[in-house]
């Protein structure tokens, strides 16, 4: 039987939220003599810049949600209706002001002869961390993840019908799903981080940077070199740094500012625990 999470706020980072954690970095300069406070600032700043320029796409965030099952009206109640409904299915029925097609006692999937207990998670899942029912952790062999969104019960049990949202998920009468959402950071992003963070370190420590901001032309000893305007580059979602722009051109060639999303106005949003 299909089971759907209901109620609350979407348990994944919004497009306006900062990255959940600093990105991994491969330094392209020597920072052995730089203070840890400066390097930490450079890493955080580079992460925020690359996260935004790459369309707020990369990074994995761990979130705990509190699901509530959405039932599809099955069981003895509808079995008892069969005699006076003629015994053939599907049958239309008006329940709570809405029309439903009653099926044969359960909500079977399209390619299954029986019911299927599953939770439809709000976004593509990177990894399921744990599932807790009545405060205890459910063994990982009791479920599987389909389509990166459907958490299917495989041990013959069913996901709980009720979830007491007034209690913590360590107590009886509750259940929760902790999952990692997002997309893994590409390897080349580590080099892009190193290149950009090195420039930030130089700026923060008064070191030599590649060029003063705004320089578009440099003439020395009869040789003139032209450089792209930094303002134009930023409008195009580029920085003028080779490794950084190689990363951005590979994974965000169109210069998108955020990921595409679809929303359903008919389905209640999800609840994010503790927010």
Other beta carbons within 10 angstroms of residue 215's beta carbon come to: 13
The answer to whether 106 and 2 are in contact (CB under 8 A) is no
Which 3 state secondary structure label does DSSP give 194? Answer: helix
Which tokens hold the place of 6?
Answer: 């209901």
How would you write 31-86 as a 3-class SS string?
CCCCCHHHHHHHHHHHHHHHHHHCCCCCEEEEEEECCCCCCCCCCHHHHHHHHHHC
pLDDT at 74: 45
Q: Tell me which H or E stretch contains 85.
A: helix 76-85
From 75, 62, 29, select the one nearest 209 (Cα to Cα).
29
Phi, psi (degrees; rounded to nearest 5) at 45: -65, -45
> How does DSSP assign 209-251, residue by residue?
-SS-TT--EEEETTEEEE---HHHHHHTT--S-HHHHHHHHHH
Of all residues in the chain, what percent are helix, strand and coil, respectively (each to 5)?
25, 25, 55
pLDDT one-digit tens code per residue, 225-241: 666 666 666 677 788 88
Which 3 state secondary structure label does DSSP give 78? Answer: helix
Cα(24)–Cα(191) distance, rounded to whole angstroms? 9
Q: Any idea where the domains of the chain sit in the sequence?
A: 1-70+109-213+244-275
Which tokens hold the place of 166?
Answer: 């007034």
Residues of the chain with pLDDT under 50: 1-13, 71-89, 103-107, 211
128: left (phi over 0), alpha (psi -120 to 50) or beta: beta
Beta bridge partners of 62: 180
Q: Which residue has the tokens 């090195």?
A: 198
| Residue 198 DSSP class | H
Is the entire prediction scored with pTM above 0.75? Answer: no
The answer to whether 114 and 108 are in contact (CB under 8 A) is yes
| Residue 253 DSSP class | T
| Percent of the chain predicted with pLDDT > 70 | 62
Which tokens hold the place of 160?
Answer: 């709980």
pLDDT at 9: 32
Q: Which residue has the tokens 């491969």?
A: 26
pLDDT at 87: 45
Cα(166)–Cα(164) distance, rounded to whole angstroms? 5
């Amino acid at each position: 039987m299909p089971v759907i999470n209901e109620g609350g706020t979407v348990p994944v980072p919004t497009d306006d939220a900062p990255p959940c954690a600093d990105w991994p970095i491969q330094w392209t300069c020597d920072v052995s003599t730089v203070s840890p406070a400066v390097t930490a600032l450079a890493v955080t700043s580079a992460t925020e810049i690359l996260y935004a320029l790459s369309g707020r796409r990369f990074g994995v965030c761990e979130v705990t949600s509190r699901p509530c099952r959405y039932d599809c009206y099955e069981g003895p109640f509808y079995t008892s209706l069969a005699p006076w409904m003629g015994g053939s299915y599907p049958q239309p029925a008006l329940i709570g002001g809405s029309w439903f097609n009653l099926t044969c006692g359960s909500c079977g999937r399209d390619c299954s002869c029986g019911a299927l207990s599953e939770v439809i998670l709000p976004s593509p899942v990177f990894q399921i961390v744990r599932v807790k029912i009545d405060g205890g952790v459910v063994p990982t062999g009791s479920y599987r993840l389909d389509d990166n969104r459907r958490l299917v019960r495989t041990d013959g049990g069913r996901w709980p019908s009720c979830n007491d949202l007034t209690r913590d998920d360590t107590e009886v009468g509750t259940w929760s799903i902790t999952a990692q959402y997002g997309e893994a950071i590409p390897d080349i992003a580590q080099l892009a981080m190193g290149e950009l963070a090195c420039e930030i370190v130089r700026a923060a420590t008064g070191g030599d940077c590649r060029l003063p901001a705004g320089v578009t032309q440099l003439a020395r000893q009869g040789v003139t070199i032209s450089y792209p305007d930094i303002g134009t580059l930023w409008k195009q979602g580029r920085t003028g740094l080779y490794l950084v722009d190689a990363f951005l051109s590979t994974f965000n060639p169109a210069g998108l500012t955020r990921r595409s999303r679809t929303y359903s106005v008919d389905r209640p949003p999800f609840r994010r625990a503790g927010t």
